[in-house]
Amino acid sequence: MESLFFELTVVLVLAGACALLVNYLKQPSILAYILAGLILGPFGYWRLHEGSALTAMSQVGITLLLFMVGLELDISQIKKIGRRAVLAGAGQVLITLACSFLLCHLLGFSMLTSLYVALALTFSSTIIVVKLLSEKRDLQSLYGRLVVGIFLTQDLVALVVLMVLSSGSSATGTALWSHVGFTFLRGVLLVVGVVILNQYVFPKLFRSIGKSDELLLVVSLAWALGLATFVQLPFMGFSLEIGGFLAGLSLSASSVHYEISARIRSLRDFFIIIFFIVLGSQLSFAGIASTIVPAIILSLFVLVGNPFIVVVILSFLGYKPRTAFYTAITVGQISEFSLILVALGLKLGAINPEVVSMITLVAIITFTLSSYSIIKADKLYSWLEQSLSWFDLTGGTAELHQHESTLKNHVVLLGVHRTGKELAESFLSAHEKFVIVDFNPEVAEYYARSGVPVICGDASDPYIQELAGFRYARMIVSTLPDVHDNLAVVESVRNQKFRAKLIIMAQNNDAARELYRHKVDYVLLPHYVNGLHLSRILKHQNPKQHLSILRRQHLKVLE
């Protein structure tokens, strides 16, 4: 146990040091963790003796990664994103798969190896791209929504591929078809069970436990890891990745799925760090001389060929060259799924360690260069603008009726109990554009049924703030009773220099003074407002008649 503690400490210290370096170079953190693994493994600066324990942690990381994908996979987004985005995603997957398979075959790889490598080159990194677009504030733009549609399609295809490969068998002939049939039947029954839980069981269950942070976290983790373990049993025959994804999908309809996501995100990040470190430590550079040239060629295909394919597809679908280019530049890297896929292929004996090393090298090259491409997209487009004008095939007909996200210049209302409820009702009556953030799942469901954008979660959590559009809000109104929660919101808004005006409710004078010290625009004190309201009633020319009118109005509201 002491050895595990010591080695885990060494691993995390090294990962932290590499992450600082990579962050300084403005590169994705995944590179830091793979680099840490390389230092521990192939470079031989430290030998891990507790490899099995770290491998188990890495499996937890993969499970939680897929759990989060399922949890945040809102199929209804397809309607909002549009048919063209889904067609672009499907076209990109098919054309990239075919081209990369042909390229691998020309490079001399076997048919099976070519298939695995082609699949690895087809998918792009949702985590890296979404993070970079969020930092650029482009996630709500037209091309940002196209990116979400393409990546959503990729994720669905990747999960189907993982499900098929994870149930692989060495059987042949009739036995093979029998195995495939039973696997398909088991998969259908498993999905049907998840859909039933998603619609009828978990929404009620998690609504009842949603008010307890601790209980919500424990039950969510138990379900994610429990289902992943179940589907790995011999009579099921699937991988833990599929179990993790289906566990997340079964909770995606719950009113507290944002809160679950916010609670598990840090745990997922910790364990996925271990996964990439273990992956890096297991790489072999024994045959690096024979794989470095193919790795460079495949990297060039991902960096240049893949974006070119997307530009052509989007041009035929009616998008302007600028939109097509900004969307296409985001697919110039391979995905976390690619690394999981080749790790699974190695485990099944379908590919050798040299292929895994080659794909990891492709990941390092494409992660690095693609990140710079996305960050410097404006400059790249200005250089290529004249050449890209050849792709203006339809005059941008697909963009005629496209609009930016509705979550702009809106009001964010934190808490809808008592005062917040009255504000919400007045916003509805005035047709005000607003979004609600509340920790109570019952409140979230009530306003969701009324057609109000509502997010169930902790308002001080940066992830919840991103979902609520704090960055684009013109006003943030908080009726939260806890001054510490309010101060956390205020500090987040001020530190990130959001332009929203802040109106915060305080329970006493000390809390009000503290909030004003943190540069809140206005602090609402209930007893102060009540005093003003009562003094105006008493000063009225006919207090008795005025009280009668107010009484009737109050009773109407209470009813």
Q: Tokens 């101060």 identify what position?
A: 487
CA distance readout (Å), 415 to 444, 465, 469, 483, 487: 10, 13, 16, 13, 15
Q: What distance in Å separates the CA atoms of residue 249 and residue 255, rounded to the nearest whole number? A: 13
In the sheet that 454-456 helps form, which strands lie side by side, from edge to edge?
454-456, 434-438, 411-414, 475-478, 501-505, 522-524
- Residues 302, 366 contacting (CB under 8 angstroms): yes
Show the tokens assigned to 54.
């770290």
User: How far apart are alpha carbons 463 and 191 in whole angstroms?
Assistant: 29
Q: Name the one residue in this structure whose structure tokens are 């009813």.
A: 559
- pLDDT score of 48: 59
Judge if 2-391 and 411-524 fold alike in CATH terms.
Answer: no
- The C-alpha atoms of residue 287 and residue 350 are separated, in whole angstroms, by 18
**Collapsing DSSP states into helix, strand and coil, what is residue 295?**
helix
346 contacts 116 by C-beta, under 8 angstroms = no
**Structure confidence at residue 404 (pLDDT):** 46
CA distances from 92 to 107, 113, 157, 362, 518 (A): 22, 21, 11, 19, 49
Q: Look up residue 259 and give its two tokens.
A: 């809160």
**CATH code for the part of the protein at 2-391:** 1.20.1530.20
Phi, psi (rounded to 5 degrees) for 49: -100, -15
| Cα gap 547→507, rounded to integer Å | 27
Nearest alpha-carbon partner for 160 in 337, 331, 309, 334:
337
CATH topology of domain 411-524: Rossmann fold (3.40.50)
Query: What DSSP element (H or E) covers 523?
Result: strand 522-524
Place of tokens 């996925």: 272
| Dihedral over Cα of 535, 537, 541, 542: its sign | negative
In the block, residue with structure tokens 């146990």: 1
What span, in angstroms and rounded, lies between the C-alpha atoms of 204 and 254?
A: 8
As a whole number of angstroms, the distance between CA 131 and CA 295 comes to 26
Q: Find out whether 314 and 331 touch, Cβ atoms under 8 Å.
A: no
> Does residue 508 sit in helix, strand or coil?
coil
- 293 C-beta neighbours (distance < 10 Å), count: 11
Q: Which of 152, 153, 138, 257 is nearest to 205 (CA)?
A: 257
Q: Where are the domains of the chain?
A: 2-391, 411-524
How many CA within 13 A on the CB side of residue 46? 21
Interhelix angle 257-281/336-348, rounded to 10 degrees, is 60
Q: In which element (H, E) is residue 293 found?
A: helix 288-300
Q: What are phi and psi of 392, to 5 degrees?
A: -85, 80
The helix/strand count (H/E) of the chain reads as: 26, 6
Best CA proximity match to 223, nearest among 180, 178, 256: 256
> Look-up: residue for tokens 């060929």?
305
**pLDDT tens across the length of the chain (559 residues):** 557 788 788 888 888 888 888 888 777 777 788 788 877 765 554 555 556 777 788 888 878 877 877 776 665 555 555 677 788 888 999 999 999 999 998 998 889 889 999 999 998 887 778 767 766 666 666 777 788 778 878 877 877 777 677 655 444 445 545 655 666 677 777 778 777 877 777 777 777 776 777 888 888 888 888 888 888 776 676 777 778 878 887 787 677 777 787 788 888 888 878 877 777 776 656 566 677 889 999 999 999 999 999 999 988 888 888 888 989 999 988 887 788 788 888 877 888 888 888 888 888 888 888 888 888 888 888 888 888 888 777 766 666 545 444 567 899 999 887 788 888 888 888 888 899 888 777 777 778 777 788 887 778 777 778 778 888 899 999 988 888 888 888 888 888 888 889 999 888 888 888 888 888 899 888 777 777 767 777 777 777 776 777 777 767 766 6
Tokens of 152: 């959503």
C-alpha pair distances (Å), 154 with each of 27, 87, 382 = 23, 11, 29
Nearest residue to 408 via CA among 435, 447, 426, 427:
435
User: Packing angle between helix 202-209 and helix 213-231, nearest 10 degrees?
Assistant: 150
487: its two tokens: 């101060």
Q: Which two tokens stand for residue 492?
A: 């987040």
Q: What is the DSSP letter of 201?
A: I
Using DSSP's 3-state secondary structure scheme, residue 383 falls into: helix
DSSP structure string for 145-183: HHHHHHHHHHHHHHHHHHHHHHT-----HHHHHHHHHHH
Q: What angle do CA 203, 485, 523 make, to 5 degrees?
A: 120
For residue 34, count other CB atoms closer than 10 A to its CB: 24
Nearest to 120 by CA among 468, 474, 357: 357
Report the chain's C-alpha Rg in angstroms. Answer: 27
- Report the Cα–Cα distance between both ends of the chain, in Å, rounded: 63
